[in-house]
Structure 1
Amino acid sequence: MVGATLVLRDIHQPPAPPWWPPAPGWWWLAAGIVLIGLIALALHLRRRRHQAVRARLFDSGLKPARTPAEQVAAMSELLRRAARERDPDADRLQGDAWLERLDGNDPAKPFSTGPGRLLLDGAFRPDVDPQQVEAVRPLARARFLQWTARR
């Protein structure tokens, strides 16, 4: 058998590992992603709940006001309280300086050049147009919510 030839076969690779079940590292990664998603959802819901509470605070502050002038006064008071929480000297601002503080970085300047100017003297007028008050309310509410948000 010296002259006999051996029949050699190619090397066969073992079959590829199955994709399921994944390796333990993939399970840890999936669990981490799910955990991060749940934490993000909880934080989002908490922020929405706090925003709803602050919105109810603003709305309940306006509820006792019967006349448009009283509503303007209540909005102004709520805004000044919110401003005082951010900057202790902000509630002492008067006139256009106060309106500019209310405008903040808004390029539209809704308080100093828009309907928000009603906050300057609307509380002291004997007759205030209710439509003007309704135009100022969403501006004041948005600024109140912004200023009372946790940083």
Structure 2
Amino acid sequence: MSGRPDDASAEAFSDAFVRFVRTFGLLDADRTPCGAPLSTAEAHAVTVLRPGRMSQRALGERLNLTKSTTSRLVDQLMTRGWADRSADPTDGRVQLVGLTEHGRRVAADVARRRADRLSTLLDRVPKAQRPAVIRALRLLEEASRDL
């Protein structure tokens, strides 16, 4: 990216971004923006774990979390009965994390709610502008890496 944005652009971006975060419901610590009764971090974790077991380290990398934050998150999932840990059969030093049956049901509910909410949101964006919105989201995701 070349240079820093001018003050007016930075302020307009900040205002729009903060308003979106608030409007979409990203500030509720106990409920996802899609209305599921779990934290956003828990929702992302069960979504990432839905396809199958993975190392705790891989989970943290996928969620862009520190080792200690990932460990606390997995502890939360286990306390809620949604996940379990086990030693990797090929390397006992590695902890694998997977969803329990209850966790798989939670993950399926999160996926359904997310699809419904995002479909409703996308329906409110004019069709001609949808590709630009998707490009902008991808650009923001890329720009957010390594911040």
Larger relative contact order (C-alpha < 8 A, sep ≥ 6)? 1
Larger Rg: 1
**TM-score normalised to structure 2 length:** 0.32
Structure number having the greater strand percentage: 2
Which structure's residues are more often helix, by fraction?
1
